[in-house]
């Protein structure tokens, strides 16, 4: 069971590893991230529900791998039993409450999120804010990131963008 939970770490980071872009602007650039680095998950509590094949981390959940960090109030991993698992035992990860993902230069935050591991899609909902340094901020109610295509969409009502033009004089 512990090995299965440790596999969760790589998939949590896969959730974080997709590029998020809006209007051709790349926000979460994890192309230089090494997902083979050690993973550390810290939480106030862990509950494993074998019958429902899930593991729930609660209370100040903090996931660190290299220079990437995910924080939330709750993280639930859904997994298949070994016999049913084809490639990935983990098929879904839910993150709830004060969800924040950060690299040294970018952040994405929202109220909750779901990572469909099989489909390679991350969906964040509620007060979504994407920030790239001082250059750009995108706000909306929903964010969908397709990790397979690299396409992202911010939607759910009015979307607001704030972009600072390049002041270096270069193109």
- Tell me the two tokens of residue 99: 């969800």
Task: Give the best-scoring range by mean pLDDT among 2-6, 8-12, 32-36.
Answer: 32-36
Considering only CA atoms, give the Rg of the chain: 16
**Cα dihedral 79/83/86/91 (nearest 10):** -10
Q: What is residue 171's predicted lDDT score, i.e. its pLDDT?
A: 57
**Mean pLDDT for the chain overall:** 75
Whether 76 has a pLDDT exceeding 90, the answer reads yes
**Locus of tokens 């990860």:** 93
Whether 8 has a pLDDT exceeding 60, the answer reads no
Question: How far is residue 101's CA from residue 147's CA, in Å, rounded to a whole number?
Answer: 15
106-158, pLDDT tens digit by residue?
788 999 998 887 887 888 999 999 888 878 899 999 988 776 776 778 888 89
Q: What is residue 39's predicted lDDT score, i.e. its pLDDT?
A: 61
Q: What is residue 168's predicted lDDT score, i.e. its pLDDT?
A: 72
Domain 2-163 belongs in CATH node 2.60.450.10: yes
Question: How far is residue 138's CA from residue 106's CA, in Å, rounded to a whole number?
Answer: 12
Q: What is residue 132's predicted lDDT score, i.e. its pLDDT?
A: 81
- CB within 8 A of 126, min separation 6: which ones? 110, 111, 112, 141
- State the pTM of this model: 0.72
- More confident: 106 or 42: 42
Q: What is residue 1's predicted lDDT score, i.e. its pLDDT?
A: 34
How would residue 70 be classed by pLDDT, with cut points 50, 70 and 90? confident
Grouping H, G, I as helix, E, B as strand and the rest as coil, residue 98 is strand
Q: What is residue 65's predicted lDDT score, i.e. its pLDDT?
A: 73
Q: Tell me the H-state helices in the chain.
A: 2-16
């Amino acid at each position: 069971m512990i090995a299965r939970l440790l596999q969760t770490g790589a998939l949590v980071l896969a959730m974080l590893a997709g590029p998020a872009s809006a209007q051709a602007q790349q926000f979460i650039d994890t192309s230089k991230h090494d997902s083979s680095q050690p993973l550390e998950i810290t939480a106030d509590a862990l509950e494993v529900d074998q019958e429902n094949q899930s593991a729930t981390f609660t209370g100040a959940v903090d996931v660190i791998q290299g220079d990437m960090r995910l924080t939330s109030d709750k993280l639930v991993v859904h997994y298949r039993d070994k016999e049913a698992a084809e490639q990935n035992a983990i098929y879904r990860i839910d993150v709830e409450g004060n969800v924040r993902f950060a690299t040294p230069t970018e952040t994405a935050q929202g109220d909750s999120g779901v990572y469909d591991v099989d489909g390679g899609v991350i969906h964040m909902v509620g007060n979504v804010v994407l920030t790239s340094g001082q250059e750009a901020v995108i706000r909306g109610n929903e964010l969908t990131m397709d990790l397979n295509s690299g396409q992202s969409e911010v939607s759910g009502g009015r979307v607001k963008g704030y972009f600072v033009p390049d002041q270096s004089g270069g193109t």
